Amino acid sequence: MTNKINLSLKKLKGLKPKGVKPKKDSPLEVLINIYNSIKPEAISFFTESFHTGELRSLPGDPRPIYDKIFEKIHKEDFDLSQKFIVDNVITLANYSFFEKTKQGEIQILATISGCLLDSFTQKSRSNNKHCIMHVDNWPIPFLFYGCNNIDTLIVDNHDVDYLLYYAGKEGIIKNLILRNVEGNHCLSDIGSKEDIDLIWVQNCSGDIFGLSIMDCEGAVNYLYAGDSSMASAFYGTSEYVGCKDISRFAYFENLQGEFLGECSRFNTVVVDNCNTYYLLRTSRIKNLILPNKFAPDNYTPEDHIICFNIHEQDQGVIMKDKLREQFKVETFKDLISKIDYKKPTQTEELIKKLRREYKTLDFGGF
């Protein structure tokens, strides 16, 4: 009788009888616990940083909160995969949107998404695997906010602001592919400790798209932007705060907008059938290819394009064709056009082919 009483007291105190293991929280429960544990500090931080940045309408670097969340996530024994991240972030989004209590909650969710992708990438790299993440139609602002490490990220049909804001500042980004993305401040303030291999932007729109990419160190080796409408695009690439490196190749095709490539620095730029009012203003370009027009001649001295070699009109068409072949623009287009969110195995093979083709490129040949 005494033993039964003691056992009942243990249960009342929350203790389990010997040999009975406590139930382990599900991954979603762990993420909700992380969300709730960081919430008071994070809301205060994000609310304050949103209003006290250099540009008062812009949010700030999430790093202090990011580091704390990442440490909690990375030590968990999650079986990380694309499906794991998609399922849990979307479910967590429903949880956090349901509360809707204070400004800053969406930044917490977005930072968690960035930390999950960062951890997935780092764990894949530790096993000598290339990490591919593909998301389609995620209505989450600040998606992958501050994500440090990305191998290949494909984002389709995204229509909210601040995609990949402040990504890569303390890690390595290799390939970013955006298709049918609408939003302001997307791809802004992106960095990487090593050169970014490829940024591919297709059928996208928004204002301030690609602000100050690689503004401190490193370069973008291959930037393609096509069939898009952007009020201001790719401002300050490799140049905004005096980056010591120079980005290599940019191909702008069928773009509409006001500002394109302002205050940027590239080795070679092709501007093919673009309708922009301010083209490469105050930019430094070694080789500028203009197959459809002459170089603008109505700039004031402080606005003038600084170029060493300008190929215009007929000569520009010849150089454009040469560079399209040299940098395999059609090959890349074809491979990327076949990427399908519903066919992950096919996508993986296409990314392998894309990486193989990229490795054959000669960035010093012109």
Of 239 and 222, which is predicted with more confidence?
A: 222
CB 133 within 8 A of CB 153: yes
**Residue type, position 356, single letter:** R
Q: What confidence tens digit (pLDDT) does each residue in 240-250 have?
A: 655 567 899 99
In 3D, which of 183, 257, 188 has the Cα closest to residue 227?
A: 257
Q: What confidence tens digit (pLDDT) does each residue in 132-175 have?
A: 999 999 888 899 999 999 999 999 999 999 999 999 989 999 99
In 3D, which of 268, 305, 252 has the Cα closest to residue 283?
A: 305
Highest mean pLDDT among 18-22, 57-61, 181-185: 181-185
Residue 96 confidence class, pLDDT cut points 50, 70, 90? low
Examine the pLDDT at 204 and tell me if it is beyond 90. yes
Residue 12 confidence class, pLDDT cut points 50, 70, 90? very low
Mean pLDDT of the chain: 87
Q: What confidence tens digit (pLDDT) does each residue in 98-140 have?
A: 455 456 888 999 999 999 999 999 999 999 999 999 999 988 8
**52-61, 80-89, 318-327: segment of lowest average pLDDT:** 52-61
CB 347 within 8 A of CB 340: yes
Return the pLDDT at 23.
67
Examine the pLDDT at 257 and tell me if it is beyond 80. yes
Examine the pLDDT at 5 and tell me if it is beyond 70. no
How far is Cα 60 from Cα 175, in angstroms, rounded to an integer? 24
Return the pLDDT at 366.
72
**90-104, 172-186, 312-326: segment of lowest average pLDDT:** 90-104
Q: What confidence tens digit (pLDDT) does each residue in 262-274 have?
A: 889 999 999 999 9
In 3D, which of 207, 313, 297 has the Cα closest to residue 260?
A: 207
CB 310 within 8 A of CB 293: no
* Other CB atoms within 10 Å distance of the CB of residue 224: 21
Return the pLDDT at 277.
84
Return the pLDDT at 205.
96
Query: What pTM was estimated for this model as a whole?
Result: 0.89
Of 332 and 313, which is predicted with more confidence?
A: 332
Q: Collect contacts of 316-323 with beta carbons under 8 A, ≥24 apart.
A: 316/289, 316/290, 316/291, 316/292, 317/291, 319/270, 319/287, 319/289, 319/291, 320/270, 320/272, 320/289, 320/291, 322/366, 323/249, 323/251, 323/268, 323/270, 323/289, 323/366
Return the pLDDT at 9.
38
Return the pLDDT at 245.
77
Max Cα distance, the chain (Å):
101
In 3D, which of 12, 302, 336, 20 has the Cα closest to residue 155?
A: 336
Three-class SS of 298-348? CCCHHHCCEEEEEEEHHHHHHHHHHHHHHCCHHHHHHHHHCCCCCCHHHHH
Q: What angle do CA 192, 252, 299 make, to 5 degrees?
A: 100
How far is Cα 140 from Cα 117, in angstroms, rounded to an integer? 15
Residue 218 confidence class, pLDDT cut points 50, 70, 90? confident
CB 251 within 8 A of CB 320: no
Return the pLDDT at 308.
81
Examine the pLDDT at 255 and tell me if it is beyond 50. yes
Residue with tokens 């309708």: 275
Return the pLDDT at 49.
66
